[in-house]
Structure 1
Amino acid sequence: MGSGFLFLTSGLLAAGLPIFVALTLAVFIGLSVAGTTPPMLIVQRMFSGLDSFPLMAIPLFILAGNLMSTSGLSNRILKVAQMLVGPFRGGLAMTTVTGSMFFGAISGSSPATVVSVGRLILPSMLKEGYDQKFSVGLLMATGAVGIIIPPSIFMIVYGAMAGVSIGALFMAGIGAGLVYGLVFLAYCYYRACKSGMESRPFPSRQELFTALREASWGLAIPVLILGGIYGGIFTPTEAAAVAVVYATVVGMFIYRELSIEDLWRVCVDSAVVTTQVMIIVASAAAFSWYLTTSGLTQQLATGLLSLSDNPVVLLLLINVVVLIAGMFLDPNSIVIILVPLVIKVAEMAGVDLVHLGVILCVNCAIGMFTPPFGMNLFVASSLGGVTYGQAVKGALPLVWLALIVLFVINAVPEISLWLPRTVMSGISG
């Protein structure tokens, strides 16, 4: 029964049906075959799945990120990043990494980071003589950090589904995101030294101060969000609402690059994205309920544990499954479909659920630029002069570098757990 249901679900997904249709249709067929539960419960479980206060943060963070993307913040962030790392060898490539980390901490979206940073810096990298494949690959790989560094939509969904503190996940994402970025910074420097690139003069204090002052309103958003959450001033959902108000005020009255027309367009775009995410969350709630009540989750967990009860082996299996899923599905779909399965295995193996959330997040970040269907591949293809084939060729070498980061985060839980365990109680190691 369990294998048949999973085969049915996989077949519906492979047939090209939308994620929410495939999940709800699989549950409907499963209930109809069993004949013991009225199908109307599917609708009830979908609505109850959305009845969650933490999930309210999703549309608000999407809106806040889009507001800041439209308000001219990208130029200011990249200018600061270039001031900080631009003088080093490979400075422009390192600016791409640093700028992506800054912007990811504001948008919480990988595709938005790729587009915002790519439009500004890709022409400059090509003009300076960087190889196109490397430039595009670096942009896609470092743009993926947007779903690791808080605020992260992925972590909000995972936290709501797994019953894990979103604040703890955000803190865990800081350590993982920094390690991810530092590894790519080191690679850019190594590549520049190997190719004989020269360093540049450092900016004056006045130039650096001016760049920081111009970008300070935007760079304050992560501080406002995280500081408010960890200071106990507001919850992650309330922080998202504060971020929307703050982003609107900054864009309209301080930077003055956000018009009423822009505000309306941003609200409409954000509503469309929110709808796409939330309808999948609703269908996943019904899917997760069916897996649990039918006993499939327990059966699958027991099956995996029969292979090994070694946490290292089980983590390896989870990583392989999620990496393969990342080649075909977007991160939100992955967390929704797989979390009910892997959580049970992780709990039985004694794996901390905060650490597990970060591992899944990094896996999904890698999936964002892994062929054949990584979302960043298609986003990069929308940039001028870049084909899908060039994007794939640029991504493949950097997938291996990202896998090294994934291995380190798996092997050293302290990278994820040290900060939340230090600041918050109840986080194990």
Structure 2
Amino acid sequence: MNAIFFSLLGLLLASSTPIFIALAGAVMIVIWLDGMMPMAIVVERMFSGIDSFALMAIPFFILTGNLMGVGGLSRRIVGFADLLVGRLTGGLGITTVCSCMFFGAISGSSPATVVAVGNILYPALTDGGYKRRFSIGLIVASGSLGIIIPPSVVMIVYAAVTGVSVGALFMAGVGAGLVYALVFIAYAVFHARRHDIPRTPPPTWGQLWQGLKDASWGLGVPVVILGGIYGGIFTPTEAAAVSVVYAGFVSAVIYREKTPRELFAAVAGSAATTAQVMIILSAAGVLAWYLTSQGLAVAIANTILSFSDTPTELFLLINVAVLVAGMFLDAASIMVILGPLLYKVGLTVGIDPVHLGVVLTVNGAIGMFTPPFGLNLFVASSLGNVTYEQAVRGSLPFIGLALLALGVVTYVPEISMWLPRLLYAGL
């Protein structure tokens, strides 16, 4: 029966069946063929898969990012980043990476970051002398910072399925995100020097002050979120709700650039995105239950450990497996399907669960712009006159750079762990 299950699952995934149907459908068919359990258990397990307090933060963070995008906050953040670093060699490229870090610290979403930053900076990059291929590659790659820099929706999913502290994961994402971003920044500087791209004139103190004032409300979002969490004022889920109120107030009352209809459209879009995420999580919960109840999770874990029982070699196996999975699945689905399994394997050989979560998140970030099904590659088509093929060609050098950053984050754990250990005793 297990052979039938894996054959069905592989066939459904290979035939481009929607992932939630593939995951839950394969389990449902096997239960029906076996006849040993009522099929209603699939529905029960789907609801159990999303019955987690930590997951309540996801719709709030998605809505915050959308409100920032339509309310003018993201444009002001991009403008302020350009004032800070635009005059440097490769300034626009550095601005792109820094803007993705800023927006990632607000939305927690990679596709949302690509759209919000790309719509502003893609035309600016091409007009500033950067090649189209480099420009689109930089945007789809830097946009993946949205799931590494806290708050991260993907980290919340990992925390929900493993029980690891959300706050510790968020802090671990700071060091990993900085390394990931610095690799892209270095390449942007190299590209600008190689192609002799001119610098922009330095801003005056007055322009800097004006830019800071314009962006201050937007920059306040991560301060409210992270400051509230680590100041002990509220939990990550409560912080997500507060961020919605804050972003909505700034968009509707302070900047007032959009009509109530457009703000409502952002809410409706957030609801649709949340539904997509949640139905995948619920179906993945069914799969996780089936693997555990049939003893397959233990068998797979033992198979992985049979290859190696040292953290160094095991991390290599994990990275290869998750990178391949990232070519076909989104990061949240990978966390639900593989997170609990790899969590148990990691504990067996002494891998810190927080460090493992960060490594899996970086793998998932790379998958966001890795062909054939990297979501950022498809989202890039919304930037105007960008085809899927152009996005793929542009992303290739950045995949290599991201793998370099992954290696550093994987095998130098202190980069990720020093901040969580500073704030959380016992890690």
Q: Which residue of 1 aligns with 2:235?
A: 235
| Worse overlay, 332-341 or 135-144 | 332-341
| Worse overlay, 72-81 or 30-39 | 30-39
Do 1:284 and 1:337's aligned partners in 2 also have CA atoms closer than 8 Å?
yes
Please tell me whether residue 192 in structure 1 is matched to residue 206 in structure 2. Answer: no
Post-superposition Cα deviations, 1:166-191, rounded to whole Å, max 9, x if no partner, equal 11111111111111111111121122
Please tell me whether residue 293 in structure 1 is matched to residue 326 in structure 2. Answer: no
Post-superposition Cα deviations, 1:260-282, rounded to whole Å, max 9, x if no partner, equal 21222111111111111111111
The whole-number CA distance in structure 2 between the counterparts of 1:164 and 1:21 is: 28
**Which residue identity does 1:406 align to in structure 2?**
L
Q: Secondary structure at the match of 1:106?
A: helix
Q: Offset of 1:198 from its aligned partner?
A: 4.2
Q: Which residue of 2 aligns with 1:426?
A: 426
**Which residue identity does 1:160 align to in structure 2?**
A
Do 2:147 and 2:361's aligned partners in 1 also have CA atoms closer than 8 Å?
yes
Q: How does 1:228-307 map to 2 (within 5 A)?
A: 228-307=228-307
The change in CA–CA distance for 1:349 and 1:3 in structure 2 (over 3 A counts) is farther
Post-superposition Cα deviations, 1:148-176, rounded to whole Å, max 9, x if no partner, equal 11111111111101111111111111111
Q: Offset of 1:253 from its aligned partner?
A: 0.6
Identity of aligned residues (%): 58
Q: Which residue of 2 aligns with 1:144?
A: 144
Q: Offset of 1:200 from its aligned partner?
A: 4.1
The whole-number CA distance in structure 1 between the counterparts of 2:23 and 2:200 is: 54
Q: Secondary structure at the match of 2:191?
A: helix
Q: Which residue of 2 aligns with 1:368?
A: 368
Please tell me whether residue 328 in structure 1 is matched to residue 290 in structure 2. Answer: no
The whole-number CA distance in structure 1 between the counterparts of 2:13 and 2:200 is: 51
RMSD: 1.5
**Which residue identity does 1:170 align to in structure 2?**
F
Q: Which residue of 2 aligns with 1:204?
A: 204
Q: Which residue of 2 aligns with 1:316?
A: 316
Q: Which residue of 1 aligns with 2:80?
A: 80
Do 2:322 and 2:334's aligned partners in 1 also have CA atoms closer than 8 Å?
yes
| Worse overlay, 129-138 or 328-337 | 328-337
Do 1:297 and 1:344's aligned partners in 2 also have CA atoms closer than 8 Å?
no
Q: Offset of 1:33 from its aligned partner?
A: 4.4
Q: Offset of 1:78 from its aligned partner?
A: 1.0
Post-superposition Cα deviations, 1:109-156, rounded to whole Å, max 9, x if no partner, equal 111111111111111211122111011101111111011111111111
| Worse overlay, 214-223 or 187-196 | 187-196
| Worse overlay, 193-202 or 358-367 | 193-202
Q: Which residue of 1 aligns with 2:390?
A: 390
How many residues end up aligned between the 2 structures? 427
**Which residue identity does 1:313 align to in structure 2?**
E
The whole-number CA distance in structure 2 between the counterparts of 1:326 and 1:50 is: 22
Q: Which residue of 2 aligns with 1:155?
A: 155
Do 2:129 and 2:197's aligned partners in 1 also have CA atoms closer than 8 Å?
no
The whole-number CA distance in structure 1 between the counterparts of 2:51 and 2:337 is: 19
The whole-number CA distance in structure 2 between the counterparts of 1:372 and 1:286 is: 26
| Worse overlay, 86-95 or 188-197 | 188-197
**Which residue identity does 2:231 align to in structure 1?**
G
The whole-number CA distance in structure 2 between the counterparts of 1:50 and 1:111 is: 22
Q: Which residue of 2 aligns with 1:221?
A: 221
The change in CA–CA distance for 1:185 and 1:420 in structure 2 (over 3 A counts) is same
Do 2:130 and 2:197's aligned partners in 1 also have CA atoms closer than 8 Å?
no
Q: Offset of 1:341 from its aligned partner?
A: 2.6
Q: Secondary structure at the match of 1:87?
A: coil
Do 2:88 and 2:199's aligned partners in 1 also have CA atoms closer than 8 Å?
yes
Do 1:172 and 1:419's aligned partners in 2 also have CA atoms closer than 8 Å?
yes
The whole-number CA distance in structure 2 between the counterparts of 1:113 and 1:245 is: 20
Do 2:13 and 2:22's aligned partners in 1 also have CA atoms closer than 8 Å?
yes
Q: Which residue of 2 aligns with 1:93?
A: 93
The whole-number CA distance in structure 1 between the counterparts of 2:38 and 2:425 is: 42
Do 1:69 and 1:107's aligned partners in 2 also have CA atoms closer than 8 Å?
no
The whole-number CA distance in structure 2 between the counterparts of 1:35 and 1:264 is: 47
Do 1:298 and 1:344's aligned partners in 2 also have CA atoms closer than 8 Å?
no
The change in CA–CA distance for 1:89 and 1:288 in structure 2 (over 3 A counts) is same
Structure 1, gaps ≥5 residues long: none
The whole-number CA distance in structure 2 between the counterparts of 1:41 and 1:128 is: 57
Do 2:358 and 2:416's aligned partners in 1 also have CA atoms closer than 8 Å?
yes
Q: Which residue of 2 aligns with 1:126?
A: 126
Q: Offset of 1:404 from its aligned partner?
A: 0.3
The whole-number CA distance in structure 1 between the counterparts of 2:185 and 2:262 is: 35
The whole-number CA distance in structure 1 between the counterparts of 2:72 and 2:300 is: 49
The change in CA–CA distance for 1:267 and 1:198 in structure 2 (over 3 A counts) is closer
The whole-number CA distance in structure 2 between the counterparts of 1:333 and 1:302 is: 22
The change in CA–CA distance for 1:309 and 1:4 in structure 2 (over 3 A counts) is farther
| Worse overlay, 4-13 or 153-162 | 4-13
Q: Offset of 1:25 from its aligned partner?
A: 1.7
